[in-house]
Amino acid sequence: MRSTASIMHLDLDAFFASVEQRDKPSLRGKPVIVGGIGPRGVVATASYEARVHGVRSAMRTAEARARCPHAAFLGGRFDAYREASRLVMERLQQESDLVEPLSLDEAFVDLAASPDFDSASVLDTVERIRADIAAATGGLTASVGVASSKLMAKIASEVNKPDGVFVVEPGTEADILGPMQATAIPGIGPATAERLRRVGILTVADLRSPGVDELVRLLGQSSGRSLHRLARADDDRPVMASRETKSVSVEDTFEQDISDRLQLESIIERMARSVSGRLRKNGLSGRTITLKMRHHDFETHTRSSTLPHPTDNARLLATTARRLLDGEDISNGLRLLGVGVSGLADWVQDDLFAADDDEDHATDEEVVESAPERPARWYPGMDVHHGDHGDGWVWGAGLGRVAVRFETRWTPPGPIHTFRADDPVLAAGHTGTFDA
């Protein structure tokens, strides 16, 4: 453990929802829920205005609608989230060479890796970073924890959420951690928490009572030993500047079960192109292709095939994934399908004489440029442009109509106009959506 509070954990507040509120003036200060908007959707992020109604991440969208029916339910725009995340990570990397991103909206930073680090002025450093992030991203806020370990820094970032800072002074870690619920320790999910509750362990202080052998018997070798240490705030994990990508995958949950094999093969083709584009963009290839299938009864199967050599070829990925589907009974329909590649490498050795064409080598951007401007599906929240009215976003869609609110992050709240879904002057931007 360090003698100074020099590890920072930064967590952007309600990130996806905050980006939507930033870019949609009419939603500022109102409940916003981002995620799957179909009947099987799941909440990815809820704004704080929605959280007061009990809406939480990973909640079924149907339940979120029941709890907060007046919220704006949006399908999400990954391009906007990735761009905001890029700006944040660039600012963190200016502060330290040791930045460990955990996701688009959170990262660890080793402040002591900076030659200018001064433990006496850590609060000033944090406030400067937060102000720079807000300026660069158009007002997004971040909650920050600073401590002598990654464990305590992450826990500290939750203390004064949203838009707050908490510094754990060295030597106070165990005292701060003890009264907290055991679930405050990352890795203790509902199942582990229930197992601990059954033996009378509710708080972190309770977790310190059993010996390591007893915890191992209760939770297994790895979890038992890890929690025995973490309950005592014993965490010497370093901030790792590089997090190796283990796999690249795409999956989709369908609004209705699909049993048509040709339709599923078409979806596999699309997913394979998307995975191929992401591999190429990151200079990666992979040997193991995995098809993930969730049946109507929620039973999930995965089928994998390992190639002789790494590939990023969309046609080969699709062919292999389709072959994996051939052996599956889909007569009762699939509710989810996914294509992934693992066993990653930074080189490719395909068959030099394998058939290939421009489509297989197209990047994500090239695929988007060649696609029709009108999407197959309009969804709430997506960016649109109208030849006469300018830029806006889909407020609602259905029955062959699209309602668009014309406003951007730089304009006042705008009016809503309704158009035919096939209006030739209504075009969509390039955005990614959550599974429905």
Which position has the token pair 């165990």?
174
- Whole-number Å distance between alpha carbons of 210 and 285: 46
Burial of 237 (0-12, 13-18, 19+ CB in 10 A): exposed
Collapse the DSSP code of 40 into the 3-class scheme (helix H, G, I; strand E, B; otherwise coil) and give the result.
coil
Strand 247-258 versus strand 390-398 pairing type:
unpaired
Options 49, 95, 100, 106, the catalytic residue: 106
Known catalytic residue: 106? yes
What distance lies between CA 231 and its chain's CA centroid? 28
- Strand partners of residue 218: none
Distance CA(128)–CA(255), nearest Å, equals 45
What is the torsional sign of CA 65, 66, 67, 70?
A: positive
Distance CA 289, CA 277 (A): 15
Q: Which residue has the tokens 């870019």?
A: 23
For the CA atoms of 243, 249, 250, 253, what is the dihedral angle to 10 degrees? -100
Whole-angstrom distance, CA of residue 345 vs CA of residue 289: 13
The H-or-E segment that residue 294 falls in is: strand 285-295
Separation between Cα atoms, residue 70 and residue 67, nearest integer Å: 9
3-state secondary structure of 273: helix
What is the rounded CA–CA span in Å between residue 57 and residue 64?
A: 10
List the 334-345 sheet strands across, edge first: 247-258, 334-345, 285-295, 300-311
For residues 427 and 383, the answer to whether their CB atoms sit within 8 Å is no
428 to each of 377, 394, 403, how far by Cα in Å?
A: 10, 9, 13
Active site residues: 106
